[in-house]
Amino acid sequence: KKLAENQVSEQAFKKLAESIGRTIQHRVTQDLVYQDMIANIWAAEPNISRAKFRKLVMSEAYAAGLATSTGISLIPRAIGPDARRAIEDRADSEILRQECCEGSAATGGNCASIAADGLFCDTSLGKPRYQVTQFGPNGLMPAVGDSAEYLESVGQEEYMVVDMIEPFASNSKVWGFNLLSNSARLAAWRSAMASGKKTFTRRLNLVQSTSAEYGVLVWLPLFADATGGWRTAFDGQVEDLTAVGSVNGVYRCQFMLEQAIKSTFSPEQLADTSIFLFDNADELGGRAQFLGSYGTDTWDAYTAYSDATIEDVTKESWTAEQIELNIENTDSKWIVMVAADAQYLRMRRSDNPYIALGLSVIVLVGGTLERVLGHPAFLKSMLERGRGHAMRAITSV
């Protein structure tokens, strides 16, 4: 009997793990679809205003695009000092800077000290202005794009500037940041230029993060063709095209994982399980990097699992399932590890060994409905009703 129960519990756990993996994949894919939509709009209107971009991203129609991401940004490509100054001297940038320094509600009450670490509002260095920034020894500083070190790294005086980003208040610190001043961001941009695909960075400490956590950026490159028109190049045909910018998605990995899981599964369904998200990109050479976790005992996953391997996080588990995520038109190679401890098996033994399998099917069907309908409240109602029907059917046998 116990052997049969163990086998059924293992089947139930496997189905649960698969449903968790598909839920995370669906959530990220959904956000990337909205990233595509923003890219199409920017391609059709290269001189889109800051006000129009904000209205678009923050509209109710695009709210689902921020379900698990924490921001979306327009990153113009600037080559040479004149192109850089053209970005810095835009009239709407100066208007936003003044609103920031005055503590406008639209920019966040502490924008004056947060945006570029206060650089844009600091009068001690002369008349403050919006400008391109990079990391410095004491925080963010005006970007240096013509130093020997920078030119050796980038190849030319080139900038990829976080010129527009929404929601602005929670991302104001990164406004104006030159992404090419960091090696991981630079490597992902070069890969995106070469492939035309959405390209994930390796894990990063985001400029705008307020706590220790890992994040990633997703580059979606835009190109100009021979006629001057802008377009994407998902087909990989980038010959005779010139990269002009990128629409970037911003992900805080811990937040993304928690939002995806909480919107679909109840605490009872995930009792005695732990979920881990890893990046297994080819360039990591088989040494997958930890991105985030859910359901662990530690209060500081960033510190606890920073250097952990997949084997490390599953070695004390009763069983574990590895789910490889397939996110189309990207270079992503993420892995979800779902681990269960011994308590998982003990708590799911019953007089009817098929109870666990029956409930797992409800979870799986519910996850499918959620991905199709995208409505957590509807899903919760269906799951509760389904669980009740399953329990009544089982106890009547």
Tens digit of pLDDT for each residue in 332-344? Answer: 999 999 999 888 8
Average pLDDT for residues 116-128, to the nearest whole number?
A: 91
Confidence category of residue 359, pLDDT binned at 50, 70, 90: low
Residue with the larger pLDDT of the pair 209 and 36? 36
Say how far apart CA 77 and CA 158 lie, in whole Å: 7
* Cα 366 from Cα 264, distance rounded (Å): 8
pLDDT of residue 211: 82
With bands split at pLDDT 50, 70 and 90, how would you rate the model's confidence at 169?
very high
Average pLDDT, the chain: 86
pTM (predicted TM-score): 0.84
pLDDT surpasses 90 at 63: no
What is the pLDDT at residue 12?
84
Backbone angles phi, psi at 267, to 5 degrees: -55, -35
pLDDT over 90, % of the chain: 68
Least confident segment among 58-67, 168-177, 193-202: 58-67
pLDDT confidence of residue 364:
56
Phi, psi values for residue 63, rounded to 5°: -60, -35
pLDDT in the model for residue 73: 96
